[in-house]
């Protein structure tokens, strides 16, 4: 991998003398790569290209090279990849779409790293390698951002943005025939220059590798900002048509990113604002409350308030001391609040602005200070805004940003000067506020939980699952999920005796293994208070659904929750928490997580659901055992982590949450087919 991405020796297959052609651009970029020590140009029809000797075939290149660029038609790709692999070359960039050739190319690679197909290549900025087939800015500014994108157009757009984002590595990974996003990211994290990562993803081709590299980024405090596409029904179909990939589900992406503290962007504007916030500006080091914004417009102050509330980005509450100091600085009629409008007559604007900004920065509840103004070109030589920002940046070690509401109005030279001083200029109300939210969130990002495994317990239940001998309630109990005592009976007398043993009132349910949803077949009988009621209920269930029936003590009324394990085609087993039982149709939202989870993550899953209000004691009701529910979610996550590869699904519904604890009263376990 390193050999390919740091290619010192490069062969350019398909080099051309014709200006503007793909082969000409490809050769031009390699020849102006400062890190390439030797380049061989290959074209059977030319003796010289761009004043360089040209060989007729890759086979004529005298030694194995680090990197081969394949600017050839699809019909020639398999032979060229096989040749490069056989020569011992390090890696290749496959620019062509390679339609229908995935399996053949993967087989031909046989140890050869491949970037692509259907990609635009890569620029290793810090190592001086330009392995691309299109002319990109020369030089690409060097800096802290590592970018990996499935989209070639996004790759080019982000290299060309007027902001001049600064990169350590930029990769257009395309179809990822061999080398994946995780591979590129793992390399990028070895570069000391990489301090923030941007990802644009259609799919996930190596979930374990991606989990490992995201954990590495989190361990080294490297923020990762990711934009995913293909989460809508139409979008998923387009991903399949475009690249032949399986698009990731929205819930699966959320689970993956939440587990490793990845900041998710909804669009390219948010991605770029977020990357700039992390790359150019300071980090939140002492999280305390929220953001503070200063405006020169009352309407734009209201706009920021409205958008921030929709996005869940908190404004910091101001201390009485801060409020008093602001009141003394503002002209009559202006309120000392956050967000703050400072524009009155405009007199002494630099001093008023600087003093208000520094006062907000001194408040312990303020984590980020933003001058939220439209950074329009000024024609009267007024430099009060940039001077006030400079005074603020010198005064505080907190993040200082400019939040412009309109990207098309930003003064380019002034924005560049501010960025050079370490002050990000964010170019949109929504995208900028989301970027500030990511700054806040990064300071409280989760630590990925330890993925410990009880190998003895895992082996015991793995053997039972393979043998088809699993008691679902015993499985839950062994992993620490409280369960109702459950006895299985096969005749009426046994049912009556079992009910007496566990204590009335009891619940009878069909235990027919072919029935997955008992309510749909009227397979449950409740509130059975004596032997006669049990006998009658058993006779009814056995007559319709077979003799096997479970007997349980009736659990006291509580809030019903559902815990589930389901398989995502890309990420594998995921844990679901949702309303259960009779609430499932009323409260339809769900939380999804990647197992295992710690208590904080489990509590967050519960808190996101509307049923959390019921657990807390809705409208004067008694508070229920939320802590016990969190413990059960953590325990269920351990089960999913240890046995998920052997399970197609697990459905615990309902798990009843009462005042004193939780109890699973029904569970379905579906092993994966052998």
Could you tell me the CATH number of the domain that includes residue 249?
3.40.50.261
Query: 538 and 611 in one domain?
Result: no
Same domain, 250 and 185: yes
In this structure, the answer to whether residues 244 and 298 fall within a common structural domain is: no
- Per-residue pLDDT at 585: 58
d(CA 373, CA 301): 9
Q: Report phi then psi at 579, rounded to 5.
A: -65, 145
How many structural domains does the chain have? Answer: 4
State residue 504's pLDDT score: 95
Residues 577 and 550 in one domain: no
The rounded average pLDDT for each run of 10 residues, N- to C-terminus, in the chain (674 residues) is: 97 96 97 97 94 96 97 95 98 94 95 96 98 93 98 96 95 97 98 98 93 95 95 61 57 93 97 98 87 95 97 97 96 94 82 96 97 79 88 97 90 93 96 98 84 93 93 96 95 96 95 84 94 96 95 92 91 92 69 93 92 81 88 97 95 93 93 87
Range of the domain at 509: 485-554
Question: Which pLDDT belongs to residue 582?
Answer: 65
Return the DSSP state at 583.
G
Per-residue confidence (pLDDT) for residue 587, from 0 to 100:
62
Mean of per-residue pLDDT scores for the chain? 92
- Boundary of a domain, candidates 554, 577, 606: 554
Task: Let me know whether 498 and 606 are in one domain.
Answer: no
CA distance 50 to 39: 12
For strands 425-427 and 400-404, give the pairing.
Answer: parallel
What secondary structure letter does DSSP report for 384? Answer: H
- Per-residue pLDDT at 235: 60
CA distance 655 to 663: 5
Helices 102-109/74-87 angle, 10° precision = 20
Domain boundary among 526, 554, 582: 554
Same-domain pairing of 255 and 305: no
Last residue of a domain, one of 215, 232, 265: 265
Cis bond before residue 505 (omega within 30° of 0): yes
Residue 276 included in any domain: no
Same domain assignment for residues 241 and 294:
no
Indicate if 519 and 578 belong to the same structural domain.
no
Do 320 and 198 reside in the same domain of the chain? no
**Burial, 622: exposed, middle or buried (Cβ in 10 Å; 0-12, 13-18, 19+)?**
exposed
Angle at 236 between CA 234 and CA 242, to 5 degrees: 100
Q: Around Cβ 106, how many Cβ atoms within 10 Å?
A: 13
User: Phi and psi for 102 in degrees, rounded to 5?
Assistant: -55, -55
The answer on 104 and 165 residing in a single domain is yes
The C-alpha atoms of residue 532 and residue 549 are separated, in whole angstroms, by 16
pLDDT score of 101: 93
For residue 394, the model assigns a pLDDT of 97
pLDDT digits (tens, 9 = 90+) for 491-523: 999 999 999 999 999 999 999 888 878 888 999
- Cβ of 70: how many Cβ atoms within 10 Å? 27
Query: Would 246 be classed as within a structural domain?
Result: yes
Same domain, residue pair 232 and 330: no
Residue 469 lies in a domain: no
- Note whether residue 497 is domain-resident: yes
Quote the CA–CA distance of 260 and 256 in Å, as a whole number. Answer: 7
**pLDDT for res 380:** 63
Q: What is the pTM of this model?
A: 0.91
**Contacting residues for 431 by C-beta, under 8 A, at least 6 apart:** 267, 269, 270, 272, 273, 274
């Amino acid at each position: 991998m390193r050999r390919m991405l740091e290619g010192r020796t490069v062969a350019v297959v398909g080099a051309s003398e014709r200006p503007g052609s793909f082969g000409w651009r490809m050769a031009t970029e390699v020849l102006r790569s400062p890190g390439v020590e030797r380049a061989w140009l290959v074209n059977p029809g030319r003796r010289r290209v761009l004043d360089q000797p040209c060989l007729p075939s890759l086979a004529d290149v005298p030694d194995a090279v680090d990197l081969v660029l394949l600017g050839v038609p699809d019909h020639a790709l398999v032979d060229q990849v096989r040749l490069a692999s056989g020569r011992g070359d390090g890696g290749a960039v496959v620019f062509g779409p390679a339609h229908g050739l995935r399996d053949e190319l993967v087989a031909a690679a046989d140890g050869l790293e491949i970037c692509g197909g259907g990609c635009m290549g890569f620029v290793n900025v810090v190592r001086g390698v330009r392995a691309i087939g299109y002319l990109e800015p020369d030089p690409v500014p060097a800096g802290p951002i590592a970018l990996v994108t499935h989209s070639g157009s996004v790759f080019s757009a982000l290299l060309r943005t007027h902001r001049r984002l600064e990169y350590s590595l930029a990769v257009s990974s395309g179809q990822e025939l061999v080398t994946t996003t995780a591979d590129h990211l793992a390399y990028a994290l070895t570069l000391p220059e990489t301090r923030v990562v941007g990802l644009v993803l259609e799919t996930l081709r190596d979930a374990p590798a991606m989990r490992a590299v995201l954990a590495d980024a989190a361990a080294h405090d490297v923020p990762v900002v990711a934009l995913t596409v293909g989460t809508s029904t139409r979008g998923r179909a387009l991903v399949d048509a475009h690249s032949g990939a399986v698009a990731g589900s929205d819930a699966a992406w959320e689970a993956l990113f939440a587990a490793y503290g990845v900041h998710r962007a909804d669009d390219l504007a948010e991605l770029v604002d977020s990357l700039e916030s992390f790359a150019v500006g300071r980090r939140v080091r002492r999280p305390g409350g929220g953001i503070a914004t200063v405006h020169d417009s009352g309407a734009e102050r209201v706009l920021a308030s409205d958008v921030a509330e929709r996005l869940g980005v908190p404004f910091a509450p101001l201390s009485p001391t801060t409020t008093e100091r602001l009141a003394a600085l503002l002209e009559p009629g202006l309120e000392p609040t956050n967000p703050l409008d400072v524009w009155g007559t405009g007199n002494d604007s630099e001093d008023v602005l600087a003093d208000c900004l520094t006062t907000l920065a001194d408040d312990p509840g303020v984590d980020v200070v933003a001058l939220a103004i439209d950074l329009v070109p000024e024609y009267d030589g007024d430099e009060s805004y940039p001077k006030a920002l400079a005074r603020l940046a010198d005064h505080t070690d907190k993040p200082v940003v400019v939040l412009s509401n309109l990207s098309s109005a930003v003064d380019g030279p002034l924005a560049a000067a501010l960025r050079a001083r370490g002050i990000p200029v964010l170019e949109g109300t929504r995208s900028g506020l989301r970027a500030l939210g990511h700054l806040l969130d990064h300071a409280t990002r989760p630590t990925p939980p330890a993925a410990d495994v009880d190998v003895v317990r895992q082996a015991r239940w793995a053997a039972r699952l393979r043998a088809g001998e699993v008691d679902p309630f015993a499985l839950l109990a062994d992993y620490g999920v409280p369960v109702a005592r459950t006895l299985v009976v096969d005749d009426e007398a046994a049912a009556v005796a079992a009910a007496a043993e566990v204590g009335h009132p009891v619940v009878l349910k069909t235990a027919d293994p072919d029935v997955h949803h008992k309510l749909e077949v009227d397979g449950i009988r409740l509130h059975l208070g004596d032997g006669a009621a049990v006998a009658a209920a058993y006779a009814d269930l056995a007559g319709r659904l077979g003799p096997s029936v479970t007997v349980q003590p009736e659990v006291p009324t509580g809030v019903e929750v559902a815990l589930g394990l389901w398989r995502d085609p890309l990420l594998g087993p995921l844990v679901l928490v949702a309303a259960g039982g009779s609430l499932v149709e009323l409260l339809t939202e769900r939380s999804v997580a990647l197992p295992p989870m710690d208590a904080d993550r489990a509590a967050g899953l519960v808190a996101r659901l509307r049923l959390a209000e019921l657990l807390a004691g809705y409208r004067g009701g008694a508070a229920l055992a939320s802590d016990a529910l969190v413990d059960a979610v953590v325990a269920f996550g351990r089960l999913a982590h240890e046995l998920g590869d052997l399970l197609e699904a697990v459905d615990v519904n309902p798990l009843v949450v009462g005042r004193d604890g939780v109890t699973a009263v029904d569970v379905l376990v579906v092993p994966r087919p052998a």
